[in-house]
Amino acid sequence: MEYVKEAFETNWIAPLGKNVNEFEKELAIKVGSKHAAALSSGTAAIHLALKAIGVGEGDIVFCPTLTFSATANPIIYQNAKPVFIDSNEETWNMCPRALEEAFEKYPNVKAVIVVHLYGLSANMDEIMRVCRHYNVKVIEDAAESLGGYYKGTHTGTFGDYGVFSFNGNKIITTSGGGMLVSKNEERIEKARFWATQSRDQARHYEHSELGYNYRMSNVSAGIGRGQLKVLEERVAKKKYIFDHYKRELGSLEGVSFMPVNDWDEPNYWLSSMTLHGKVKPIEVMKALELENIEARPIWKPMHLQPYFEKYDYVGTNVAERLFEYGVCLPSDTKMTDEELERTVKTIKKLW
Ligand SMILES: *Cc1c(COP(=O)(O)O)cnc(C)c1O
């Protein structure tokens, strides 16, 4: 409220202003990246990262199949072609072996997008090793993993570009917004230029490049600065929710929780489990629905989506099985112990 009030009092509502500059610096420090550009969404950040890499007409971009469509859509905005890569059981994220196989099939690939799904980190050592071997640029879609670390380093800072989202459903929000981070200052400056309609330096309006209206407003950035202060609290609450579910439901027949590897410190954005026993995911979702509690399946893989099914896919159907057997449980940080208990009780009754 203080930061937003300041934006009003100084009459810097939009487009830019102090909150935008400070939010960029604060987020960059928080995740340990050098430079950051505050944008209107995470999707816009992925789009500008692809553009910064030079992805264009007909280029191939590797993208995890198990993700939200916002990871893949910007590939199409650039008239490029996604090739969808399977997950592995160990991380639920991009499978390094399937990635290697895809490189053998498409050695001329232009970029790789890696996602840290539900706040669980992908196997970055392996993925970066393969991508560096082929000398291909990496974008990390860390929209769901702000506050999550891989081997002590913040997710979103391993690749050439990192993307964060402050959409309403993410761990912190600006009501809507995103951030592009990179070690490369010149590319981040270029992203800011594209995001403000590619206005050249001149007295009049001069444009030598295609532009976008992708900047974050000073009011939104004010919200973000306040939210950033509660990030650790939110991660702690998300972990509390996950631990509670795991303790109460983890030993039920057929239940496995999402994999938390030794090297991973997730933000536990969404608590998810798979059901391979007698109780089916649809039964859990329906039982919860009767109690007015929302639960959903795991992301439907992109290569099964009507819009994307014409693009190639490399893998062994791990993502398909996660979609078929997975359930995402209510994980909002505002949940009370009573609500958590009610959710757990409703599920347990099915066994
Ligand atoms: C939310 C999300 C995005 C998009 O972020 P927006 O800010 O909503 O545009 C991209 N990728 C993943 C994996 C997401 O969950």
Q: Distance between CA atoms of 91 and 260, rounded to whole angstroms?
A: 8
Whether residue 62 is found in the same domain as residue 175:
yes
Count Cβ atoms below 10 Å from residue 137 Cβ, excluding itself.
20
Half-sphere exposure of 82 (CA within 13 A, CB side): 28
Among 182, 199, 228, the domain boundary falls at 228
Whether residue 262 is found in the same domain as residue 147:
no
Question: 171-212: per-residue pLDDT in tens?
Answer: 999 999 999 999 999 999 999 999 999 999 999 999 999 999
Among 228, 243, 258, the domain boundary falls at 228
- Binding site membership of 217 for ligand 1 (Cβ less than 6 Å): no
3-state secondary structure of 12: coil
Best of 46, 93, 144 for a ligand 1 pocket test (most atoms within 8 Å of beta carbon): 144
- Please give the pLDDT value at position 256: 98
pLDDT for 3 beyond 90:
yes
3-state secondary structure of 254: coil
E strand or H helix at 208: none
pLDDT for 13 beyond 90:
no
For residues 188 and 199, is the Cβ–Cβ distance under 8 A? no
Q: What is the pTM of this model?
A: 0.97
Question: 248-271: per-residue pLDDT in tens?
Answer: 999 999 999 999 999 999 999 999
Centroid of ligand 1 to alpha carbon of 205 (angstroms)? 32
Centroid of ligand 1 to alpha carbon of 43 (angstroms)? 6
Local confidence band at 12 (pLDDT 50, 70, 90 cut-offs): confident
For residue 243, the domain's CATH number is: 3.90.1150.10
Which single residue is written with the structure tokens 């496995």? 256
3-state secondary structure of 62: strand
Average pLDDT of the residues in 224-236 = 98
> Which atom of ligand 1 is the closest one to the Cα of 115?
13
Best of 167, 174, 270 for a ligand 1 pocket test (most atoms within 8 Å of beta carbon): 167
Q: In what order do the strands lie in the sheet with 272-275?
A: 255-257, 272-275, 326-328
pLDDT for 15 beyond 80:
no
Domain count of the fold of the chain: 2
Tell me 25's DSSP state. H
